[in-house]
Amino acid sequence: MKKLSLISLTLLSSLALAACSKSNSTSQTPTVEPITTESTSSSSSQTPVVNTQLRQQFDTILVGDSSQAGEGGSTLEEVKALLGEPTSTTTSELNGLSTEELTWVDGDTTITLAINQGKTVNKAISGFLFNRDRNLSLTNFNELAEGTSYSDVLAVWGEPDVYTESKIMGTKSVGATWFSNVKGKDVTANAFLVFTDDQLAQKTETNMTD
């Protein structure tokens, strides 16, 4: 159990990136870190796009519990049947246990999966910018209360542009970032939310305005 837990923490660290500077956050300890602008959008384009099919394929991938040998996660064969062969694959080893990191690139969008013992234990999508019906402001961010459900946030904010998900010892952790249609000082403006078992546990905003 200890070895698997260490691997899970390593996966979270490698798939999540450093927090943006000048941010405003709550005091709870985050499960995953915000993802920087450089990793989520093309330097040549900030045009919001929607690739519905790709996002739906990503959403159907199940994330298993990494402390239980990926129990409940989509298998490597199921993932490849859905997304095709990955653009790249890397393998790492920790305490004698091997983990594969598979990456698919489609334009500016990148999907990354961590596969442990043949099953998905972490998934992430980045570079996916939505064209929203409304703009998100600092007031919208400040109105979000701890404990708000993920589904309630989606009902008002829409799907996040960046999404990461993992599960460790029965606890589901989601990191979600909104970049597109966010009111801010510049193109780095974003809101990053962490959900634990689908409840808002931590929030951070960078350069958002009203």
Band of residue 129 on the pLDDT scale cut at 50, 70, 90: confident
Q: What structural domains does the chain harbor?
A: 48-128 (3.30.1450.10), 132-210 (3.30.1450.10)
Per-residue model confidence as pLDDT tens digits over 57-94: 999 999 999 999 999 999 999 999 999 999 999 998 87
pLDDT digits (tens, 9 = 90+) for 136-193: 999 999 999 999 999 999 999 999 999 999 999 999 999 999 999 999 999 999 999 9
Q: What is the pLDDT of residue 95?
A: 65
Specify the pTM: 0.78
DSSP assignments along 8-55, one per residue: HHHHHHHHS-PPPSSEEE-SSPPSS----HHHHS-TT-------HHHH
CB neighbourhood size of 17 (10 A): 20
For a pLDDT cut of 70, what percent of the chain falls above it? Answer: 74
- pLDDT bracket for residue 7 (50, 70, 90): very low
Exposure string of 74-112, with b = 16+ CB inside 10 Å and e = fewer, is bbbeebeeebeebeeeeeeeeeeeebbbbebeeebbbbb
Going from the C-alpha of 167 to that of each of 5, 64, 72, 94, the distances in angstroms are 10, 6, 10, 18
pLDDT mean over 19-35: 39
With 50 as the cut, is the pLDDT of residue 34 above it?
no
At 35 the pLDDT is 36
Q: What is the mean pLDDT of the chain?
A: 81
* Whole-Å CA distances, 4 to 16, 33, 70, 117, 166: 18, 21, 10, 11, 13
